[in-house]
Structure 1
Amino acid sequence: MSWSEADQEFAATVNEFPLLSWLDSNEQEAKAGLLNLVSEVVEDMKESGEKIPEPQ
């Protein structure tokens, strides 16, 4: 989690999916948004047979 000066919002990121992020003015909402996004991406990856990154 970091603060984005450019966006004036919290930026939630995760190492396993470096291209994904979620911005929100509320830190907890940024985390929740990212968790939902990652969950959707993992489901899509499962459906298409892609390899899912191991948690770090």
Structure 2
Amino acid sequence: MPLLNTLMKFARTPQGRRAMNRAMSYARSPQGRKQIAQVQRQLSARRKPR
């Protein structure tokens, strides 16, 4: 799990915190919520057996 460790180290840096804050504020915005819902629909459509 070296990738996860690398991501955790990055998240603790000031740069990582800024990136997380930007991502969180985008996720809270109407445009972000719309895009998240769209991706969720696409992923759930892929999981349904045909």
Q: Determine if the TM-score, normalized by the shorter chain, exceeds 0.5.
A: no
What TM-score results when the alignment is normalised by the length of structure 1?
0.39
More helix by share: 2
Which one has a bigger Cα radius of gyration? Answer: 2
Q: Which has the higher contact order (CA 8 A, sep 6+)?
A: 1
